[in-house]
């Protein structure tokens, strides 16, 4: 979707301000949000693509006003309501009022080793990769109202396949509920001028990680 | 007013909101607060930029390891026997005097947690996510970094589950340094591409 989360190339957000000796968390509630997210993902309440999608569907003003972990919290609330885990009246009162939809599993102390483990997103390909390194491609001009990982600034642009990264779970399909639908993933590199125009610094190149359905031959 | 209400009066709206969420999820059996404590503990103690720094220091001293790292970073790091498991799809890219790599995630805040820990606020912020792909030199200036005009800049937008680790150049004047000492020169930002390693004289003791 063409949401506010798709920020590449936007103006008006100001300077980057690094914080000296920044701690891992700035408040205890941030720790809880992170842990809840990990535990619910382990419980298969949703997956990483669905949690990104939930945050992207927050109203744009709420997305912008929220800090990183606030956004996570809002996304968890939204997804938990949509999955039937909790209801809005429960969130308002702060207590469970009725049972929720059961989850496939719950994280216990025995599973804690999985808390930090990142899964593999590679899947068996159903057909050979369509493009090879060095090949010229053009990204499609698509504007789905659903989740996609093709940023707006890189749509309808010509670039070069730099590497094939394997065949991966396709987020666009996962979030639509049509399964993992594995697709070939490529690093596609663009000249800065192709993305931002002829006035752009000639020393700049930008790459995205593009799923095969985003690409056509140039 | 009971003690509960007094306690709540001290809490901000987001604290109350997260507490409500955790309470409900716990009452319904979806999460266990003791397990949540353990998850937090692991994030605070196991992962962090010290892992990436160790990898970079090895790459600086062992050409065969560096070659393996640039070929398949997940596999190379697994060979170091680091406690926390580095997930699949990690890609290492090398910064040289003529070529500078910088990593961003414009769509959310994808970051190589396995090797760098949790991302800093600036990495997740709108200013960085918006400008890194269109004005990387301007962003680098915000970090006090000015690169020569003829240095090629490559920005990697982390739009899938591949993750990127920048291998910064080894500082001059460190010949013969052991890995542990070199690792202290490797800053988090130098592994994102928004900073440089410390100079030998600035090394923490």
Looking at chain B, which residue has its C-alpha nearest residue A33? B18
* Residues B131 and B138: beta-carbon distance below 8 Å: yes
Residues of B in contact with A16 (CB under 8 A): 122, 125, 127-128, 131, 139, 142-143
Tell me if A7 and B106 make a contact (CB, 8 A cut-off): yes
Interface test with B, best of A209, A212, A214, A215 (most B CBs within 10 A): A209
Domains of chain A, each with CATH number or no CATH: 28-114 (1.10.472.20), 136-217 (2.30.30.50)
With a cut of 0.90, is the ipTM above it? Answer: yes
Q: Please, are residues B163 and B138 in contact by the beta-carbon 8 Å criterion?
A: no
pLDDT at residue B98 tops 80: yes
Q: Are B120 and A173 in contact (CB under 8 A)?
A: no
What CATH number has the domain spanning B49-202?
3.90.330.10
Averaged pLDDT for residues B75-90: 85
Are residues B25 and A40, on separate chains, in Cβ contact within 8 Å?
A: yes
Tell me the pairing of strands B99-104 and B152-157: parallel
pLDDT of residue A118: 82
A181 in reach of chain B (CB within 8 A): no
Low-confidence ranges of chain A (pLDDT < 50): none
User: At residue B81, does pLDDT exceed 50?
Assistant: yes
Q: What is the pLDDT of residue B3?
A: 45
Residues 6 or more apart in contact with residue A56 via CB below 8 angstroms: A1, A3, A5, A63, A147
Q: Closest chain A residue to B85 measured between Cα atoms?
A: A117
User: How far A135 CA lies from chain B's nearest CA (Å)?
Assistant: 19
**What pLDDT score was predicted for residue B205?**
65
Residues A37, A200: Cα–Cα separation, whole Å: 40
CB contact under 8 A, A85 and B25: yes
pLDDT band of residue B2 (cuts 50, 70, 90) is very low
From residue B75, alpha-carbon distances to A200, B63, B100 in Å are 37, 16, 24
| Model pLDDT, residue B180 | 96
Where along chain B do the CATH 3.90.330.10 domains lie?
A: 49-202
Say which residues have a Cβ less than 8 Å from residue B24's Cβ, sequence separation at least 6: A86, A90, A91, A94, A95, A96
Model's pTM, two decimal places?
0.96
Instruction: Answer whether B125 sits within 8 Å of A13, measured CB to CB.
Output: yes
Best residue in B11, B25, B83 to probe A by mutation, most A CBs within 10 Å?
B25
Quote helix, strand, coil % in chain B, to nearest 5: 45, 10, 40
- Catalytic positions of B, please? 105, 108-110
Q: Which residues of A touch B89 (CB under 8 A)?
A: 120-122, 165-166, 168
Query: What does the pLDDT read at residue B9?
Result: 66
The CA distance from B27 to B24, in Å, is: 5
Query: How many interface pairs between A and B have CB atoms less than 8 angstroms apart?
Result: 269
pLDDT in tens, B33-47: 999 999 999 999 999
- Are A203 and B16 within 8 A, CB to CB? no
Candidate from A5, A15, A187 with C-beta closest to B142: A15
Mean pLDDT of all residues belonging to chain A: 96
Question: For B141-196, how does the pLDDT look when each residue is reduced to its tens digit (9 = 90+)?
Answer: 999 999 999 999 999 999 999 999 999 999 999 999 999 999 999 999 999 999 99
Among A residues 124-143, those touching chain B with beta carbons less than 8 Å apart: none
């Amino acid at each position: 979707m063409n949401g506010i989360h798709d920020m590449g190339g936007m103006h008006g957000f100001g300077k980057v301000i690094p914080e000296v000796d920044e701690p891992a968390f700035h408040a205890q509630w941030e720790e809880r949000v992170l842990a809840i997210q990990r535990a619910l993902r382990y419980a298969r309440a949703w997956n990483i693509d669905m949690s990104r999608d939930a945050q992207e569907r927050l109203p744009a003003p709420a997305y912008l006003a929220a800090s990183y972990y606030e956004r996570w919290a809002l996304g968890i609330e939204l997804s938990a309501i949509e999955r039937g885990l909790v209801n809005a009246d429960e969130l308002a009162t702060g207590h469970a009022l009725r049972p929720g939809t059961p989850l496939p599993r719950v994280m216990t102390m025995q599973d804690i080793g999985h808390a930090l483990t990142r899964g593999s997103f590679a899947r068996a390909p159903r057909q050979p990769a369509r493009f090879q390194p060095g090949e010229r491609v053009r990204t499609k001009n698509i504007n789905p109202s659903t989740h996609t990982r093709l940023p707006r600034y890189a749509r309808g642009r010509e670039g070069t396949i730099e590497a094939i990264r394997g065949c991966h779970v396709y987020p666009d399909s996962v979030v639509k509920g049509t399964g993992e639908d594995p697709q070939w993933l490529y690093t596609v590199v663009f000249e800065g001028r192709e993305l931002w125009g002829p006035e752009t610094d000639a020393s700049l190149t930008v790459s995205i990680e593009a799923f095969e359905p985003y690409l056509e031959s140039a | 007013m009971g003690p509960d209400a007094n306690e709540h009066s001290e809490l901000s709206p987001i604290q109350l909101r997260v507490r409500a969420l955790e309470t409900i999820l716990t009452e319904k059996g979806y999460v266990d607060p003791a397990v949540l404590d353990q998850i937090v503990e692991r994030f605070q103690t196991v992962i962090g930029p010290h892992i990436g720094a160790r990898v970079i220091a090895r790459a600086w001293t062992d050409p065969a390891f560096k070659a393996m790292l640039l070929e398949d970073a997940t596999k190379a790091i697994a060979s170091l026997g680091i406690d926390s498991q580095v997930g699949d799809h990690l890609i290492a890219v090398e910064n040289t005097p003529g070529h500078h790599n910088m990593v961003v995630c414009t769509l959310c805040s994808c970051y190589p947690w396995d090797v760098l820990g949790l991302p800093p606020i600036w990495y997740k912020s709108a200013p960085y996510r918006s400008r890194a792909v269109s004005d990387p030199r301007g962003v680098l200036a915000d970090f006090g970094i000015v690169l020569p005009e003829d240095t090629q800049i490559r920005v990697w937008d982390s739009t899938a589950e591949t993750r990127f680790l920048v291998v910064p150049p080894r500082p001059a004047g460190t010949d013969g340094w052991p890995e542990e000492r070199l690792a202290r020169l490797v800053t988090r930002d130098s592994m994102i591409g928004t900073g440089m390693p410390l100079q030998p004289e600035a090394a923490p003791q």
